[in-house]
Amino acid sequence: MNAPRDLPVTRLDAAVIGAGVAGLYQLHRLREMGLNVRAYETGSGVGGTWYWNRYPGARFDSQAEIYQYWFDEAMYKAWQPSERFPAQPETERWLNWVADRMDLKKDIQFDTRIDSAHFNEATQRWDLTTRQGERIDAQYLVCCMGMLSAPLTDRFPGQSSFQGQILHTALWPQEGVDLKGKRVAVIGTGATGIQVIQTIKGEVGEMTVFVRTPQYIIPMRNPKYSAADWAGWGERFHELKQRVRSTFAGFDYDFDAPPWDTLTPAEREAVLERLWDDGSLSLWLSSFPEMFFDEAVSEVVSEFVRRKMRDRLQHDPALCELLIPTDYGFGTHRVPLENGYLEAYLQDNVHTVNCRQTPIERIVPEGIQTADGTVHPFDVIIMAVGFDAGSGALTRVDIRGRGGRSLKEEWQREIRTAMGMQIHGYPNLFSTASPLAPTAALCNMTTCLQAQVDWVTDCIAYARAQGKTVIEPTREFEDAWVAHHDETANQTLVVKTDSWYMGSNVEGKPRRLLSYIGGVGNYHRQCDEQAAQGYPGFAMR
């Protein structure tokens, strides 16, 4: 299947899809190499996740000092974040500031969706078409489309019949939404739903939260950052830049508690208390690695968090039953940071529907109908129902590799990649934040995105220096990566819990842990080894 021949054609060395954290840096790196490169972005501005997710309360869970670019020390020092975990508007402003400082926008085509990307075997180049009716002919295609960028918008029958306003959090209107005094439904209590609920609880008239799977949480400690604080982080620039590449999850912190077996229960509790008070993801990603493997350790840590949650819910039996997880272990889901989330449920204007008992059946003109026949009337329905994670960004484009093979069809059977950056059968196609690379809190996103962009750039540079025009992972290397990934994943309890990490939130999606869980340092070592050895797992011609 080839793209229509009569469209205007733009000829490039490289096309980058996406102008978020990864796409901006990829554009910069390839342009720096002297390539004729252009980025294509569906949105009207830069930012990716930070452009689209404008819902109330959106903010990141990585400390500002490490949610950074590392390629320019002066740039790092010049932008001063206002607090430890800045909210979406500040992060969007930061990415615009970076793009302007690097003069990137002139090479980004906004409001442009790539509909198809076909590898043309005659030319050994990629043939792209945009929804707007343009053709792009590029030697390299680099997909910087995000891990969590394909929102699950059509979730319930009857959605279009709703007479009020229905919104997915990832497609929040730029002009905002007035929720004052309204009857609002929130569906979903993942990291997004939690941020929405805690933020709008004082503004709405009445809020009903539709809760299916409860979440463990950690209270966020979010102090303001002064100029002096930021100067202090600036002094650590070189050390932090190296450190984040080597820790378990790409953060400043790493597992540093003594082995679980060597501590008394009181000593373990003291470690958990210290990390709980830190108000970051360190309780999950730098306490006891044993919690990922050992059911007994997992249960102790889980019970520690449940106890904290029970206290905050004032031991209300119905709320504790609804909101405190008991059937999976702490940290086998993505753990959200929150601020006043549980207290929302203690308010008189906040109600709940237990979707485990009465699932949502359909959306009707007045509101939401549950399986018991009740119609819950609303003015606004907020769907915080998540994403087709990892694979969805790529499979929503009609990507065809050698022999016309379809990535969508192949990934409906099995999701596979080589180190999350290339796919056998799709020459010269590179991607960041893709399945089987560390991602989304199992890697601080800016850490892994930049390392992947650097790897992709070096790989392209290497191939060009060798006089090769095409590079693709061998089937053997991809098999070996998938096997290593699965072996690592299957030792953990994460694979036993349903969530987007396992693809279980999308019906029919093949089950596999979408993020590499062998550690960011370990991942980068393996990527670096491939490069240092001349890419033995990749065929170049």
What is the contact surface with ligand NAP in residues (CB under 6 A)?
59-61, 148, 155, 187-193, 195, 210, 212-213, 334, 355, 360, 384-387, 440-441, 500, 505
Q: How far is the CB of 163 from ligand NAP (least distance, A)?
A: 21
Q: Are 510 and 503 in contact (CB under 8 A)?
A: yes
Phi, psi of 286 (to 5 degrees): -145, 25
Q: Which amino acid is at 231?
A: A
Q: How far is the CB of 190 from ligand NAP (least distance, A)?
A: 2
- 63 or 431: CB nearest ligand NAP: 63
- 159 or 526: CB nearest ligand NAP: 159
- 321 or 487: CB nearest ligand NAP: 321
- 209 or 240: CB nearest ligand NAP: 209
Q: What is the DSSP letter of 188?
A: -
- 213 or 352: CB nearest ligand NAP: 213
Q: Which amino acid is at 198?
A: Q
Q: How far is the CB of 127 from ligand NAP (least distance, A)?
A: 33
What does the alpha-carbon distance between residue 249 and residue 175 come to, in Å, rounded to a whole number? 35
For residue 203, the Cα-to-chain-centroid distance in whole angstroms is 28
- 430 or 500: CB nearest ligand NAP: 500
Q: How far is the CB of 271 from ligand NAP (least distance, A)?
A: 24
Q: How far is the CB of 189 from ligand NAP (least distance, A)?
A: 4
- 48 or 473: CB nearest ligand NAP: 48
What does the alpha-carbon distance between residue 143 and residue 422 come to, in Å, rounded to a whole number? 10
CA nearest neighbour of 39 among 143, 118, 127, 116: 143
CA nearest neighbour of 308 among 330, 332, 333: 330
| Residue 404: Cβ within 10 Å count | 11
- 188 or 473: CB nearest ligand NAP: 188
- 425 or 438: CB nearest ligand NAP: 438
What SS3 class is residue 78? helix
Q: How far is the CB of 445 from ligand NAP (least distance, A)?
A: 8
What SS3 class is residue 405? coil
Return all residues near 279 (Cβ < 8 A) that are at least 6 apart.
Answer: 218, 219, 220, 221, 222, 337
Return all residues near 325 (Cβ < 8 A) that are at least 6 apart.
Answer: 213, 214, 215, 216, 302, 306, 333
Q: How far is the CB of 225 from ligand NAP (least distance, A)?
A: 18
DSSP run (H or E) holding 456: helix 445-465
Q: How far is the CB of 252 from ligand NAP (least distance, A)?
A: 16
Interior angle at CA 88, CA 87 and CA 92, nearest 5:
130
What does the alpha-carbon distance between residue 335 and residue 61 come to, in Å, rounded to a whole number? 10
What SS3 class is residue 436? coil
Q: How far is the CB of 53 from ligand NAP (least distance, A)?
A: 7
Q: How far is the CB of 385 from ligand NAP (least distance, A)?
A: 4
- 222 or 457: CB nearest ligand NAP: 222
Is the Cα dihedral 368, 373, 374, 375 positive or negative? positive
Q: Are 16 and 142 in contact (CB under 8 A)?
A: yes
Quick one: CA torsion of 161, 165, 171, 175, rounded to 10 degrees?
A: 150
Q: How far is the CB of 514 from ligand NAP (least distance, A)?
A: 11
Q: How far is the CB of 420 from ligand NAP (least distance, A)?
A: 16
- 459 or 493: CB nearest ligand NAP: 493
The count of residues in the chain is: 541
Place of tokens 């490490």: 66
Between the alpha carbon of residue 349 and those of residues 55, 94, 377, the distances in Å are 21, 36, 14
For residue 118, the Cα-to-chain-centroid distance in whole angstroms is 26
- 108 or 385: CB nearest ligand NAP: 385
Name the residue number minimizing CB distance to ligand NAP. Answer: 190
